[in-house]
């Protein structure tokens, strides 16, 4: 299929790798010349500008960092592109449900079909077709692009209303962020008390303390010292703030999420700007080991 992809960051380029490998023809656009060169080297076809996305009468996938960028790009598309030249707009970004409602209202008023399908599974999941896509919106559009989405992973259809996919995504990331933050605290506390972190993980994973961080993120990305899961700490911080915004919007208590948001905001103040989100463990360990900021495993001592 012909596909237009706007946004060629780490996830966007992983989509290009997967989709071109499955025989799809990708026309892509990004403001970064380096990203456009990467697209070309991967067999994709760079577009001169957003105004050219209607040249191929194809579905448009968005993979952008936040709601404000999505809204700005959508406004530019609707201003300069004939809606009839695009078969639909599918947002793979994480914008939060309130952002999705705003975009959906703008897009549908123009006569363009809209759906959202934020993802979980990271860069590796995108490359291997192992993502989970949380889809909602125009059912006819989702039917039409399902072969594309299924190339990227498992598609969960959550309903026709805008925002359902985004609600699912930010709540998923709230749980993920909470697990990683509290596991970082627990491992650092144990190490400071003389426990072996690898042994601690074995005990957690054999008992009631196990979670995605103890089962996957710590063994693969923390104890190994790689810290390269592929998702930025700044983006995780953005996502937990979107989850807190949702809790406030539905008038529910946000006691735990408030603490999680403050934890990630503090982490981002101390971590490098481009830090992987698993580096929150490195930050906690720095209170235990003076060498915690080196590239080797933070728990070797």
CB 245 within 8 A of CB 203: no
pLDDT digits (tens, 9 = 90+) for 158-214: 999 999 999 999 999 999 999 999 999 999 889 888 899 999 999 999 999 999 999
pLDDT at 290 over 60: no
pLDDT at 280: 95
pLDDT at 112: 93
Stretch 82-106: mean pLDDT = 94
Confidence of residue 286 (pLDDT cuts 50, 70, 90): confident
Which parts of 99-189 are beta strand (E)?
114-116, 119-120, 131-137, 153-157
Based on DSSP, count helices (H) and strands (E) in the chain, helices before strands: 12, 9
CB 179 within 8 A of CB 212: yes
pLDDT digits (tens, 9 = 90+) for 266-283: 999 999 999 999 999 988
Give pTM, 2 decimals: 0.91
pLDDT at 301 over 80: no
Confidence of residue 119 (pLDDT cuts 50, 70, 90): very high
Distances, alpha carbon 299 to alpha carbons 136, 194, 195, 220, 258, in Å: 42, 11, 11, 13, 29
CA distance 268 to 237: 8
The pLDDT > 70 percentage for the chain reads 95
Q: Compute the mean pLDDT over every residue in the chain, rounded to the nearest whole number.
A: 93
pLDDT at 36: 98
Long-range CB contacts (< 8 A, 24+ apart) of 262-270? 263/181, 264/177, 264/181, 264/233, 264/236, 264/237, 264/240, 265/237, 267/181, 267/233, 267/237, 268/233, 268/234, 268/237
pLDDT at 289: 59
Stretch 110-128: mean pLDDT = 95
pLDDT at 296: 39
pLDDT at 77 over 70: yes
Ordered by where they begin, the domains of the chain are: 2-160 (3.40.50.720), 167-285 (1.10.1040.10)
pLDDT at 295 over 50: no
CA distance 25 to 18: 11
CB 104 within 8 A of CB 166: no
Confidence of residue 297 (pLDDT cuts 50, 70, 90): very low
pLDDT at 291 over 90: no
């Amino acid at each position: 299929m012909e596909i237009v992809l706007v946004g060629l960051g780490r996830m966007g380029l992983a989509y290009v790798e997967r989709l071109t490998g499955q025989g799809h023809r990708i026309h892509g656009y990004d403001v970064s010349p380096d990203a456009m060169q990467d697209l070309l080297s991967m067999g994709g076809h760079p577009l001169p500008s957003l105004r050219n996305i209607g040249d191929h009468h194809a579905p448009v996938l968005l993979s952008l960092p936040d709601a404000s960028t999505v809204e700005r790009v959508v406004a530019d598309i609707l201003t300069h592109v004939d809606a009839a030249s695009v078969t639909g707009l599918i947002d793979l970004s994480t914008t939060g449900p309130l952002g999705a409602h705003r975009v959906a209202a703008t897009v549908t008023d123009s006569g363009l079909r809209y759906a959202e399908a934020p993802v979980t599974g990271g860069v590796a999941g995108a490359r291997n077709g192992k993502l989970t896509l949380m889809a909602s919106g125009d059912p006819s559009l989702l039917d039409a692009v399902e072969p594309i989405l299924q190339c990227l992973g498992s598609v969960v259809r959550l309903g026709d209303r805008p925002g359902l996919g985004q609600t699912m995504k930010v709540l998923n990331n709230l749980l993920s962020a909470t697990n990683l933050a509290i596991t970082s605290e627990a491992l650092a506390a144990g190490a400071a008390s003389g426990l072996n972190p690898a042994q601690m993980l074995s005990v957690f994973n054999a008992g009631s303390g196990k979670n995605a961080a103890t089962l996957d993120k710590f063994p693969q990305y923390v104890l190994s010292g790689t810290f390269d899961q592929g998702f930025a700490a700044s983006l995780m911080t953005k996502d937990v703030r979107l989850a807190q915004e949702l809790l406030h919007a539905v008038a529910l208590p946000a006691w735990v999420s408030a603490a999680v948001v403050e934890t990630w905001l503090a982490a981002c103040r101390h971590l490098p700007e481009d830090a992987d989100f698993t580096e929150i463990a490195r930050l906690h360990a720095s209170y235990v080991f003076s060498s915690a900021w080196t590239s080797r495993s933070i728990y070797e001592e």
